[in-house]
Amino acid sequence: MSSPLRLGTRGSALAMAQSGHVAEALTAATGRPVELVEVVTAGDRSSAPVHRLGVGVFVSALRDALTAGTIDFAVHSYKDLPTAAAAGLHIAAVPPRQDPRDALVAKGGRTLAELPPGAVVGTGALRRIAQLHALGLQLEVTPIRGNVDTRLRRVLDPDADLDAIVLARAGLARLGRTDEITETLDPMLMLPAPAQGALAVECRADDTNLVELLAVLDHAPSRAAVVAERALMATLEAGCSAPVAAYAELAEGDAGEEIYLRGAVISPDGTRDLRLSRTGTPADAAEIGKALAAELLDLGADSILGHDGSTGPGTQQFGSTE
């Protein structure tokens, strides 16, 4: 039997769960055994708010381990990856994407509309904070950190200090905790982060045998959606310090399969909210993202980008899936 492939992963319950799913899928498809190797990242060691940590804080240690050869491949929450390609590394597969929408977990089984004015809602992403403010529901929104279980306890425990939290539905699904969801949020209310719910399976570009082996996990529709969303993010990235959201869906159109991309740029206080959409073919996913970003810039998105000074040029304020 071939020696096990070493799959690098963060040590959180969610990261281990999603890496475990990838390992099982690869072994089932190829017969190759896989062992998980825990790698501690800078994001795991910090208690700072996610949007202040900078791009790549959850992935740099994994990429260092890949480059050093101490692991053979890594599984990332795709939305944590910087948009710039990493030298010598290759995204070999984007497995089928989990539901990318955000989810609400609230006391008493409430929906977002049922929360009373002044209700305290916690979330780890500035993108979500901005969109909650934009809804005008008079909620008190506060940034939070911690893994999924830690966040859930802040709502569900007897001494809970929050009325609700908003987090990625995909993380709850991968942990088998969807029963805790009181509302899955419509993207018309809460547009997801680019690549939310998607995983990136990355290896060294010169490991051609592994590149070929991992390709069995790739799901073309999920990859096309993520390419469109991240192309929009990359085009807006320079100087961006405001929340950016994007969500691409694939469906059958009159002339074959189409990709429908929605994008948004929202000021942190929610007072300015630009939203546009664009369609095209999956083969043109990257160009669709770039064109939609250009339209947003033409409408004044550049006057929103950089409005909040909490991060410098070239950073994105997306939290980890947790």
Q: CA 256 → CA 126, 176, 320, distances in Å?
A: 37, 35, 34
261 pairs with which residues across the strands? 248, 278
- The whole-angstrom separation of Cα 287 and Cα 261 is 11
Place of tokens 């790698």: 39
The answer to whether 98 and 21 have CB atoms below 8 angstroms apart is: no
Q: What is the DSSP pairing of strand 199-204 with strand 89-93?
A: antiparallel
Q: What is the DSSP pairing of strand 120-123 with strand 164-168?
A: parallel
- Enumerate the active-site residues: 80
The answer to whether 95 and 201 have CB atoms below 8 angstroms apart is: yes
Distance between the two ends of the chain, CA-based, in angstroms? 36
- The whole-angstrom separation of Cα 102 and Cα 189 is 10
Beta-carbon neighbour count of residue 88 at 10 Å? 11
- The whole-angstrom separation of Cα 199 and Cα 214 is 13
Amino acid letter for position 121: V
- The whole-angstrom separation of Cα 194 and Cα 132 is 18
DSSP string, 228-286: HHHHHHHHH-TT--S-EEEEEEEEEETTEEEEEEEEEEE-TTSS-EEEEEEEE-GGGHH
